Amino acid sequence: MCSVGDAFGIDMAERLNPKEYRCKDCGNEFKGIGKNVLCPACQSNTVELA
Ligand SMILES: [Zn+2]
């Protein structure tokens, strides 16, 4: 056994069922999880469900 952080993170993401978001600042569309979703492109928290 070993502790691979990335594999654990991917497994958690799939369990939480990520939703599609759109950034209002730059228009980037991405999958987000949780309450405080940040745009991966510009780090803005002004996002909406796509
Ligand atoms: Zn953005």
pLDDT at 35: 82
Query: Residue type for 12, please?
Result: M
Prediction pTM value: 0.66
User: Domain-by-domain residue ranges, the chain?
Assistant: 18-50
CA of 3 to the centre of ligand 1 (A): 32
Q: Ligand 1 centre and the CA of 7: distance in Å?
A: 26
Interval 1-50: pLDDT, tens = 566 566 666 566 556 788 999 999 999 999 998 888 999 999 999 999 99
* Ligand 1 geometric centre to CA of 31 (Å): 12
What is the pLDDT at residue 27? 98
The Å distance, Cα 33 to ligand 1 centre, comes to 15
Residue 12 to residue 25: CA distance in whole angstroms = 28
Q: For residues 29 and 47, what is the distance between their CA atoms, to the nearest angstrom? A: 9
